Amino acid sequence: MPVYKFHGPKRTQKSIPLSRAELHIHLTGSVRLSTVWELSRQKNISLPGNGSIAALEKVVHMSEPSTLAGFLSGFRYTSPPLAGDIVAMERVAHEFCEDISSHGVLYVEARFCPHLLVKPEGGEDSATADDILEAVLRGFDKGSADFGVTVRTLLCCIRGLPQFDKDIVRLADKYRDKGVVGIDVAGDEGHLEEGMAALFDQTVIEAYDEARKLGLKRTAHAGEVGPASCVEQALTTLQAHRIGHGYRVLENNQLYEKCLKDKVHFETCPTSSILTGAQPTDIFYHAVVKFAEDGANLSINSDDPMVTGTWIEQEYELVRSWGLNETYITRANFNAIRSSFLPDDEKKEMLKKLREVNHIHDDY
């Protein structure tokens, strides 16, 4: 019989001031494995190996570079115990706030696709995408109040699942005053190549068009594994305000120069981009370093802590080991708030908090 023990993230220091901002983190990629394990056992959902948390960790955690598909393989164990369960989703969202707060995050935009958490078999009284989203927003509200963080939500379209795209925009519009601040498109770019005419599904293009008309903010995973033209199409066809990852923009110098000039925001995720194979480890020089040294508008993010085993502090440690000092890290935090999807007055307030915690004063 496996012995239950707490496997939540540990505080890396006794008290980290709330001083960080994260724009790219997946809620379902940040779930505590202890919660997954507990729910799986309650619901008689099969667990890998001998059924222990250690065996679950072994399947979900990644420490060696693989592919995006390999990176996501652990989700087959972590998603079923959450599917259709609004109590579980409220709990997961609340725990997320606690975890993020313990890592000193002042402001976070967490993203997920509610439709992927609807029970596939359905049923009349089963939870809808609206119910799932409401549960998450309740968890975030309660967690924000309990742990002092500010959390906003992004809703994800998923490549290859066009049936959700239109509804993502409906939900983003319906819940825009309740914490949802924009949309995203996620999913595997591995099959995409330079020169392909359409690098985003037609339904995604239509969804982004509708979102633009409704005044909803837009980010898009692009150029992580897919080619530089994914970044180009995200900026032109989707008119995205920000780019998730975007490293392969470096393969098109003209486009990269334009991104620098236009201050396009890159949501970089150092560890996960190594583990998904987006950045080969034999080239020690990571795109994040190049972006930072070129003065690009970037943030540093943890993407999927449940898989990488890293929270924001470990991401900072990694970029420090590449030679980026505190100046770059502080800049990244200010960039994140400036490029966040908060309304201007709230952004101003958040920038003020960030200045205060960094002891940056205008009066001397």
What residues are annotated to the active site?
224
What CA–CA distance (Å, rounded) separates 227 from 213? 28
- Pair 37, 329: CB distance under 8 Å: no
Which CB atom, from 103 or from 111, has the smaller least distance to Zn ion? 111
At closest approach, how far in Å is the CB of 17 from Zn ion? 26
**What per-residue string of b and e applies to 71-94 under the rule 16 or more CB within 10 Å gives b?**
bbebbebbebbbbbbbebbbbbbb
Cα 315 to the center of its chain, rounded Å: 14
- Pair 19, 73: CB distance under 8 Å: no
Interaction site with Zn ion (CB under 5 A): 303
| Token reading at 7 | 């496997």
Query: What is each CA distance from 124 to 127, 167, 173, 319, in whole angstroms?
Result: 9, 19, 25, 49
At closest approach, how far in Å is the CB of 29 from Zn ion? 8
What CA–CA distance (Å, rounded) separates 89 from 134? 9
- Pair 103, 315: CB distance under 8 Å: no
What CA–CA distance (Å, rounded) separates 16 from 247? 30
Length of the chain as a residue count? 364
What CA–CA distance (Å, rounded) separates 81 from 38? 9
Sign of the dihedral defined by the CA atoms of residues 89, 93, 98, 104, in that order: positive
Which CB atom, from 53 or from 220, has the smaller least distance to Zn ion? 220
